[in-house]
A and B are shown apart, each in its own frame.
Chain A
Protein backbone atom coordinates (compact mmCIF):
# COMPACT_ATOMS: atom_id res chain seq x y z
CA UNK A 1 0.00 0.00 0.00
CA UNK A 2 1.11 3.53 -0.68
CA UNK A 3 1.69 5.94 2.15
CA UNK A 4 3.28 9.36 2.52
CA UNK A 5 4.31 10.74 5.90
CA UNK A 6 5.10 14.36 6.58
CA UNK A 7 6.00 14.30 10.24
CA UNK A 8 6.30 18.05 10.60
CA UNK A 9 2.82 19.48 11.02
CA UNK A 10 3.93 23.09 11.38
CA UNK A 11 7.22 24.92 10.98
CA UNK A 12 7.84 28.56 11.77
CA UNK A 13 11.08 30.34 10.90
CA UNK A 14 12.34 33.84 10.50
CA UNK A 15 12.83 35.23 7.02
CA UNK A 16 16.14 34.36 5.36
CA UNK A 17 16.57 31.17 7.33
CA UNK A 18 16.91 27.88 5.47
CA UNK A 19 14.21 25.33 6.14
CA UNK A 20 13.81 21.66 5.23
CA UNK A 21 10.48 19.90 4.92
CA UNK A 22 10.63 16.15 5.41
CA UNK A 23 8.79 13.52 3.39
CA UNK A 24 8.98 9.76 3.86
CA UNK A 25 7.08 7.40 1.60
CA UNK A 26 6.11 3.74 1.40
CA UNK A 27 5.42 1.77 -1.75
CA UNK A 28 5.86 -1.77 -3.01
CA UNK A 29 6.40 -0.71 -6.60
CA UNK A 30 9.81 -0.27 -8.13
CA UNK A 31 8.44 2.37 -10.48
CA UNK A 32 6.86 5.34 -8.80
CA UNK A 33 6.72 9.11 -8.89
CA UNK A 34 7.14 11.67 -6.16
CA UNK A 35 5.73 15.18 -6.15
CA UNK A 36 5.72 18.34 -4.10
CA UNK A 37 2.85 20.79 -4.19
CA UNK A 38 2.45 24.19 -2.56
CA UNK A 39 -0.92 25.37 -1.25
CA UNK A 40 -0.86 29.11 -0.55
CA UNK A 41 -3.65 30.79 1.44
CA UNK A 42 -5.66 31.14 -1.76
CA UNK A 43 -6.17 27.37 -1.63
CA UNK A 44 -5.11 26.30 -5.11
CA UNK A 45 -2.43 23.62 -5.22
CA UNK A 46 0.62 24.61 -7.21
CA UNK A 47 2.87 21.94 -8.69
CA UNK A 48 6.54 22.28 -7.72
CA UNK A 49 8.37 19.15 -8.83
CA UNK A 50 8.01 15.57 -10.08
CA UNK A 51 10.71 12.96 -9.63
CA UNK A 52 10.63 9.37 -10.89
CA UNK A 53 12.06 6.49 -8.90
CA UNK A 54 14.91 5.89 -11.32
CA UNK A 55 16.32 9.36 -11.02
CA UNK A 56 18.00 9.97 -7.70
CA UNK A 57 19.82 13.05 -8.82
CA UNK A 58 19.07 15.96 -6.55
CA UNK A 59 17.49 18.99 -8.12
CA UNK A 60 17.87 22.69 -7.51
CA UNK A 61 15.55 25.36 -8.79
CA UNK A 62 16.42 28.80 -7.54
CA UNK A 63 16.00 28.81 -3.77
CA UNK A 64 14.31 25.38 -3.85
CA UNK A 65 16.14 22.07 -3.73
CA UNK A 66 15.06 18.48 -3.36
CA UNK A 67 16.97 15.55 -1.91
CA UNK A 68 15.73 12.14 -3.05
CA UNK A 69 17.19 9.15 -1.21
CA UNK A 70 15.77 5.74 -2.06
CA UNK A 71 17.80 4.10 0.70
CA UNK A 72 15.75 5.95 3.31
CA UNK A 73 12.58 6.36 1.20
CA UNK A 74 12.75 10.09 1.62
CA UNK A 75 12.17 13.05 -0.65
CA UNK A 76 12.97 16.15 1.36
CA UNK A 77 12.46 19.72 0.24
CA UNK A 78 14.70 22.62 1.27
CA UNK A 79 14.01 26.31 0.87
CA UNK A 80 17.12 28.43 1.09
CA UNK A 81 16.95 32.04 2.30
CA UNK A 82 13.23 31.77 2.98
CA UNK A 83 10.88 34.63 2.20
CA UNK A 84 7.49 35.60 3.57
CA UNK A 85 5.90 34.62 0.24
CA UNK A 86 7.02 31.04 0.88
CA UNK A 87 4.43 30.79 3.65
CA UNK A 88 2.02 28.05 2.65
CA UNK A 89 1.10 24.44 3.26
CA UNK A 90 3.40 22.08 1.40
CA UNK A 91 2.31 18.61 0.37
CA UNK A 92 4.42 15.67 -0.66
CA UNK A 93 2.69 13.08 -2.85
CA UNK A 94 3.37 9.67 -4.37
CA UNK A 95 1.94 7.78 -7.30
CA UNK A 96 2.87 4.32 -8.42
CA UNK A 97 3.83 3.60 -11.99
CA UNK A 98 1.06 3.92 -14.57
CA UNK A 99 -0.94 0.81 -15.25
CA UNK A 100 -0.32 -0.11 -18.92
CA UNK A 101 -4.06 -0.49 -19.46
CA UNK A 102 -5.63 1.98 -17.09
CA UNK A 103 -3.02 4.66 -17.40
CA UNK A 104 -1.83 7.02 -14.70
CA UNK A 105 -2.30 6.11 -11.07
CA UNK A 106 -3.81 8.13 -8.28
CA UNK A 107 -1.77 10.52 -6.20
CA UNK A 108 -1.52 9.80 -2.49
CA UNK A 109 -0.76 12.85 -0.40
CA UNK A 110 0.88 13.38 2.94
CA UNK A 111 -0.90 15.42 5.59
CA UNK A 112 1.04 18.54 4.68
CA UNK A 113 3.42 20.84 6.52
CA UNK A 114 2.27 24.36 7.29
CA UNK A 115 5.25 26.65 6.82
CA UNK A 116 5.17 30.15 8.26
CA UNK A 117 7.92 32.58 7.41
CA UNK A 118 8.00 35.52 9.80
CA UNK A 119 9.45 38.86 8.76
Chain B
Protein backbone atom coordinates (compact mmCIF):
# COMPACT_ATOMS: atom_id res chain seq x y z
CA UNK B 1 0.00 0.00 0.00
CA UNK B 2 0.94 3.62 -0.27
CA UNK B 3 0.86 4.46 3.42
CA UNK B 4 1.85 3.04 6.78
CA UNK B 5 -0.42 0.16 7.66
CA UNK B 6 -1.12 -1.04 11.19
CA UNK B 7 -3.02 -4.07 12.37
CA UNK B 8 -5.22 -4.76 14.10
CA UNK B 9 -7.01 -1.43 14.15
CA UNK B 10 -8.66 -2.33 17.42
CA UNK B 11 -7.73 -4.87 20.04
CA UNK B 12 -9.51 -5.72 23.26
CA UNK B 13 -7.62 -8.04 25.54
CA UNK B 14 -7.90 -9.33 29.06
CA UNK B 15 -5.47 -8.17 31.68
CA UNK B 16 -2.49 -10.49 31.84
CA UNK B 17 -2.63 -11.60 28.21
CA UNK B 18 0.10 -10.90 25.66
CA UNK B 19 -0.60 -8.84 22.54
CA UNK B 20 1.25 -8.24 19.28
CA UNK B 21 0.80 -5.12 17.23
CA UNK B 22 1.97 -4.98 13.66
CA UNK B 23 3.28 -2.16 11.51
CA UNK B 24 3.98 -2.21 7.77
CA UNK B 25 5.99 0.88 6.89
CA UNK B 26 6.08 2.66 3.56
CA UNK B 27 8.27 0.73 1.15
CA UNK B 28 11.82 2.07 1.16
CA UNK B 29 11.53 3.84 4.49
CA UNK B 30 14.44 2.76 6.63
CA UNK B 31 13.40 4.52 9.83
CA UNK B 32 10.43 3.23 11.83
CA UNK B 33 8.99 4.63 15.05
CA UNK B 34 6.52 3.45 17.67
CA UNK B 35 4.59 5.94 19.78
CA UNK B 36 1.88 5.57 22.39
CA UNK B 37 -0.98 8.01 22.79
CA UNK B 38 -3.15 7.73 25.86
CA UNK B 39 -6.63 9.22 25.75
CA UNK B 40 -6.42 12.99 25.44
CA UNK B 41 -2.65 12.98 25.74
CA UNK B 42 0.30 13.69 23.48
CA UNK B 43 2.51 11.19 21.73
CA UNK B 44 4.92 9.29 23.91
CA UNK B 45 8.01 7.93 22.14
CA UNK B 46 8.59 4.22 22.64
CA UNK B 47 11.28 2.99 20.25
CA UNK B 48 12.95 3.85 16.97
CA UNK B 49 14.41 1.48 14.36
CA UNK B 50 16.99 2.22 11.72
CA UNK B 51 16.80 -0.81 9.48
CA UNK B 52 16.45 -3.73 11.86
CA UNK B 53 18.49 -2.23 14.66
CA UNK B 54 17.06 -0.07 17.42
CA UNK B 55 19.41 2.82 18.23
CA UNK B 56 16.93 4.27 20.68
CA UNK B 57 14.53 2.23 22.78
CA UNK B 58 14.62 4.55 25.72
CA UNK B 59 10.87 5.06 25.69
CA UNK B 60 9.83 1.47 26.33
CA UNK B 61 8.02 1.75 29.67
CA UNK B 62 8.99 -1.62 31.11
CA UNK B 63 10.47 -4.99 30.26
CA UNK B 64 6.96 -6.13 29.35
CA UNK B 65 7.36 -4.13 26.16
CA UNK B 66 9.55 -5.29 23.29
CA UNK B 67 9.75 -4.67 19.58
CA UNK B 68 11.48 -6.15 16.61
CA UNK B 69 11.81 -5.41 12.95
CA UNK B 70 12.56 -7.67 10.03
CA UNK B 71 15.07 -5.98 7.75
CA UNK B 72 13.61 -2.71 6.56
CA UNK B 73 10.10 -4.04 6.62
CA UNK B 74 7.49 -5.12 9.12
CA UNK B 75 7.79 -4.34 12.81
CA UNK B 76 5.94 -5.91 15.71
CA UNK B 77 5.44 -4.39 19.13
CA UNK B 78 4.77 -6.99 21.81
CA UNK B 79 3.28 -6.26 25.19
CA UNK B 80 3.43 -9.11 27.65
CA UNK B 81 1.15 -9.56 30.65
CA UNK B 82 -0.91 -6.52 29.67
CA UNK B 83 -2.10 -4.12 32.34
CA UNK B 84 -4.97 -1.67 32.25
CA UNK B 85 -2.55 1.25 32.05
CA UNK B 86 -1.36 -0.15 28.71
CA UNK B 87 -4.68 0.90 27.18
CA UNK B 88 -3.87 3.49 24.52
CA UNK B 89 -3.55 4.02 20.81
CA UNK B 90 -0.24 2.70 19.53
CA UNK B 91 0.99 4.65 16.52
CA UNK B 92 3.64 3.60 14.06
CA UNK B 93 5.45 5.94 11.68
CA UNK B 94 8.13 5.59 9.05
CA UNK B 95 10.48 7.97 7.31
CA UNK B 96 13.37 8.04 4.90
CA UNK B 97 16.87 8.07 6.27
CA UNK B 98 19.07 10.75 4.89
CA UNK B 99 21.14 13.83 5.62
CA UNK B 100 17.97 15.72 6.45
CA UNK B 101 15.31 14.48 8.75
CA UNK B 102 12.38 13.97 6.47
CA UNK B 103 8.86 13.94 7.78
CA UNK B 104 7.48 10.84 9.41
CA UNK B 105 4.31 9.34 7.96
CA UNK B 106 1.96 7.84 10.50
CA UNK B 107 -0.39 4.90 10.38
CA UNK B 108 -3.88 5.09 11.78
CA UNK B 109 -2.86 3.32 14.94
CA UNK B 110 -3.99 0.32 16.94
CA UNK B 111 -6.41 1.09 19.71
CA UNK B 112 -5.62 -1.28 22.56
CA UNK B 113 -8.08 -1.75 25.39
CA UNK B 114 -7.12 -3.91 28.34
CA UNK B 115 -10.10 -5.03 30.40
Chain B residues near A42 (CB, 8 Å)?
Answer: 108
In this complex, how many residues of chain B approach chain A with their Cβ under 8 Å: the count is 30
Given the interface contacts A109-B43, A110-B42, A111-B41, does A103 sit within 8 Å of B97 by beta carbon? yes
Chain A nearest CB from B96 CB (Å) reads: 8
Chain A residues near B108 (CB, 8 Å)?
Answer: 42-44
| A95 close to B (CB within 8 Å) | yes
**Pick from B31, B91, B105, B107: contact of A104, CB under 8 Å:** B31
Chain B residues near A111 (CB, 8 Å)?
Answer: 41-42
Q: Are A35 and B103 in contact (CB under 8 A)?
A: yes
Interface, chain B (partner A; CB < 8 A): 30-31, 33, 35, 41-43, 45, 48, 50, 55-56, 89, 91, 93, 95-109
Pull 9 A–B residue pairs with CB atoms less than 8 Å apart, ordered by A: A44-B106, A44-B107, A45-B91, A47-B103, A50-B101, A95-B101, A97-B101, A104-B97, A107-B45
Interface, chain A (partner B; CB < 8 A): 33, 35, 37, 42-45, 47, 50, 52, 91, 93, 95, 97-99, 102-112
